């Protein structure tokens, strides 16, 4: 029997909070179960801004530029998975292009056959949550598998 965990990352320290949490607990997971982790990133920046004087124009990346972005993303994901690999966990990496991180994560949970999605969260509530939205909240409400939400620890003052 195996357990498959999908961990969406965005390249930030906050985004890696759930990854670190899973890394710390992977050796204590149920005996006799093989654990596989899929590190996943949605690339949403499909254009860049070119400014000329006071005018700015959004220009789509070329195919070559998109390939380079995806390569850098895959390099990041592979590096991020080294801690899990060192503990004997099978780690797969996937990067996709999309306009909605939440929708792509929900799609991926089914495509990879995830048993669990582990995601980092700011833990916002009230007006700030309403103003900024929450990819984690959208995945929690729109997905079909359990979501482990891991809050970034508060920094010591």
What are the mean pLDDT values of the chain's consecutive 10-residue runs (157 residues total)?
Answer: 85 90 76 82 88 86 94 97 92 96 96 95 54 75 93 62
Phi/psi for 154 (5° steps) reads -70, 140
Q: What is the pLDDT of residue 84?
A: 94
Q: What is the pLDDT of residue 21?
A: 92
Q: What is the pLDDT of residue 107?
A: 97
Name all domains of the chain by residue range, CATH numbers in brackets. 2-151 (3.40.50.620)
Query: What does pTM read for this prediction?
Result: 0.84
Among residues 71, 85, 74, the alpha carbon closest in space to that of 40 is found at: 74
Locate all alpha helices (DSSP H) within the chain, ordered by sequence: 17-25, 63-80, 82-85, 101-111, 126-132, 135-142
Q: What is the pLDDT of residue 31?
A: 53
Q: What is the pLDDT of residue 28?
A: 59
Query: What 3-state DSSP class applies to 32?
Result: coil
In this structure, the number of other CB atoms found within 10 A of the CB of residue 21 comes to: 16
In this structure, the number of other CB atoms found within 10 A of the CB of residue 11 comes to: 13
Largest CA distance in the chain: 63
Q: What is the pLDDT of residue 3?
A: 87
What are 64's two structure tokens? 């070559």
Q: What is the pLDDT of residue 135?
A: 87
DSSP letter at 20 equals H
Rounded to whole angstroms, how far apart are CA atoms 145 and 133?
21
Q: What is the pLDDT of residue 32?
A: 57
User: What Cα–Cα distance (Å) separates residue 117 from each residue in 46, 99, 120, 129, 142?
Assistant: 25, 20, 10, 20, 12
């Amino acid at each position: 029997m195996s357990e498959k965990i999908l961990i969406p990352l965005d390249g930030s320290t906050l985004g890696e909070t759930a990854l670190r949490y899973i890394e710390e607990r992977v050796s204590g997971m149920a005996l006799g179960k093989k654990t596989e982790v899929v590190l996943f990133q949605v690339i949403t920046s499909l254009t860049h801004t070119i400014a000329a004087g006071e005018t700015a124009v959004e220009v789509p990346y070329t195919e070559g530029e998109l390939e380079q972005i995806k390569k850098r993303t895959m390099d990041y994901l592979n590096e991020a998975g080294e801690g899990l690999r060192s503990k004997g966990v099978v780690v797969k990496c996937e990067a996709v292009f999309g306009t909605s991180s939440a929708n792509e994560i929900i799609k991926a949970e089914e495509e990879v056959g995830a048993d669990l999605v582990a995601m980092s969260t700011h833990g916002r509530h009230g007006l700030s949550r309403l103003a900024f939205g929450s990819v984690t909240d959208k995945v929690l409400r729109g997905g079909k598998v359990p979501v482990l939400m891991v809050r970034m620890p508060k920094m010591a003052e």
